[in-house]
């Protein structure tokens, strides 16, 4: 160090050693830090294929108390920011589901995609209470229930058309 820095202890406190290494977390060294919301929207959700899968992912992070449990995200952004971001993302995905035509929600493509879609519809039924955001209106909840009913009926009809012989062996439950 030269000149001014050597003369002024405010610039260089005596208790700071310059030979020590400063560790910098990975998320800082890889570019600009994203907000908690942007982190989910830009880094996480694009890696999950399909609207139903994205919504199920967020719903599965919700605990019985309604709080989202994502240790890494909360550790990086803080608990409050993480909860706020997941609440916002959850609401957006839920609204997107309600705005999406049923025909778009049922396009499966290959047999593997079809199998995954049937599993997602089943999971949607199982997690119904966690899929609906806490602040959803009564009308949104009713609309969601009708979407789930339509998907369930289409899933059952599709399963029967894929395996007609197997569906004939199983008695219908009334």
Count how many domains the chain has: 1
Chain-wide mean pLDDT for the chain? 79
For residue 126, pLDDT beyond 70: yes
Output the pLDDT for position 112: 63
Output the pLDDT for position 20: 55
What is the per-residue burial (b if ≥16 Cβ within 10 Å, else e) of 99-113? eeeeeebeebeeeee
Residue 20 DSSP class: S
Which tens digits make up the pLDDT trace of 3-54? 544 444 445 555 555 555 545 455 554 555 889 999 999 999 999 999 999 9
Residue 39 lies in a domain: yes
Residue 80 lies in a domain: yes
Residue 82 lies in a domain: yes
Alpha carbons within 13 A on the beta-carbon side of 38: 4
Which tens digits make up the pLDDT trace of 48-105? 999 999 999 999 999 999 999 998 899 999 999 999 999 999 999 999 999 999 988 8
Residue 144 lies in a domain: yes
Q: Which domain holds residue 78?
A: 23-162
| pTM for the model | 0.71
Residue 15 lies in a domain: no
């Amino acid at each position: 160090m030269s000149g001014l820095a050597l003369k002024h202890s405010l610039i260089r406190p005596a208790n700071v050693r310059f030979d020590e290494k400063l560790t910098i977390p990975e998320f800082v060294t890889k570019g600009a830090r994203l907000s908690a919301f942007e982190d989910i929207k830009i880094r996480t959700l694009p890696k999950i294929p399909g609207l139903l899968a994205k919504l199920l992912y967020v719903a599965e992070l919700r605990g019985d108390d309604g709080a989202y449990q994502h240790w890494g995200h909360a550790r990086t952004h803080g608990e409050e920011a993480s909860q706020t971001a997941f609440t916002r993302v959850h609401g957006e995905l839920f609204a997107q589901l309600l705005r999406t035509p049923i025909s778009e929600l049922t396009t499966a493509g290959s047999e593997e995609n079809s199998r995954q879609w049937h599993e997602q519809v089943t999971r949607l039924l199982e997690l119904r209470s966690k899929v609906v955001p806490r602040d959803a209106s009564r009308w949104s909840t009713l609309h969601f229930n009708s979407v789930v009913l339509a998907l369930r009926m289409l899933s059952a009809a599709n399963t029967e058309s894929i395996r007609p012989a197997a569906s004939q062996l199983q008695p219908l439950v009334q």
